[in-house]
Every structure is written in structure tokens, then in C-alpha cells.
């Protein structure tokens, strides 16, 4: 792992996150790298730490949102008044409609 003081290069980021080259560059680009004169990118540790903390906070917020959504769905489901389902009370064709079933058909 190569780093200069408080800056990490692409190889270090790839090793820390177990990423391949293209994924590493994509991650670094999202965080905001510094481009050296040689064309190589380095990433300040402070930026990486701030990015990871923001990602963790977003994950916590999303988890809390999903939990609130689930609870509101459960509350709405419990408050609905429903008629009995057709599947819960099966009917027979002949008695419901007043006519016999067609010839060749029988109840299962």
C-alpha cells in the first residue's frame, strides 16, 4: 500500500476496498481525487473518511425510512375493513347461478 503522508493512491484504494482498477478509479472520481502532474490520482484521507461517514449516515437514514414505511403499511393493513375473500369461501357454480353445470363437467 503506497501513500504519501495523508494521501492514498489508486493501488492503496484498490487494496483497501478489494476493487479492480476501473472500479477504483470510479470510486476515486466520485470522492474527488487530486491529479498529479504525472497524471496519477491521489486521494486525501480526509476526503475518503468524510465520504465513508456520509455513506454510513445515508444508510442509516434509508434504513430508518424503510422501517417507518413498513410500520405504516402494517398499520394501514390492520385498519382496513375487508370483505371475506372468494378464496376463503368457495362457491359452487350450480347453486350460485341457479343453473346446472354443463354436461361433461364435474366438481373437483
| Residue 53, domain CATH | 1.10.1660
- The answer to whether residue 87 is domain-embedded is no
83 belongs to a structural domain:
no
Q: Report the number of distinct structural domains present in the chain.
A: 1
Looking at the domain assignment, is residue 69 inside a domain? yes
- Give the integer Cα–Cα distance in Å for 37 and 41: 9
pLDDT means over runs of 10, the chain (108 residues) = 72 92 92 88 91 94 92 80 58 57 71
Query: What pLDDT shows up at residue 80?
Result: 73
pTM of the model: 0.57
Report yes or no on 30 lying in a domain: yes
The whole-number pLDDT of residue 47 equals: 92
Residue 94 is assigned to a structural domain of this protein = no
The grid coordinates listed for 4 are 504519501
Q: Is residue 60 part of a domain?
A: yes
Its domain, for residue 58, covers 3-78
Amino acid at each position: 500500500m503506497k501513500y504519501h503522508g495523508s494521501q492514498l493512491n489508486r493501488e492503496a484504494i484498490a487494496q483497501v476496498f478489494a476493487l479492480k482498477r476501473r472500479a477504483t478509479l470510479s470510486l476515486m472520481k466520485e470522492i474527488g481525487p487530486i491529479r498529479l502532474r504525472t497524471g496519477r490520482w491521489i486521494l486525501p484521507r480526509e476526503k475518503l473518511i468524510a465520504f465513508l461517514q456520509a455513506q454510513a449516515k445515508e444508510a442509516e437514514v434509508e434504513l430508518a425510512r424503510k422501517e417507518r414505511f413498513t410500520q405504516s403499511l402494517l398499520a394501514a393493513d390492520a385498519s382496513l375493513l375487508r370483505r371475506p375473500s372468494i378464496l376463503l369461501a368457495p362457491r359452487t357454480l350450480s347453486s350460485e347461478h341457479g343453473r346446472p353445470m354443463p354436461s361433461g363437467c364435474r366438481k373437483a
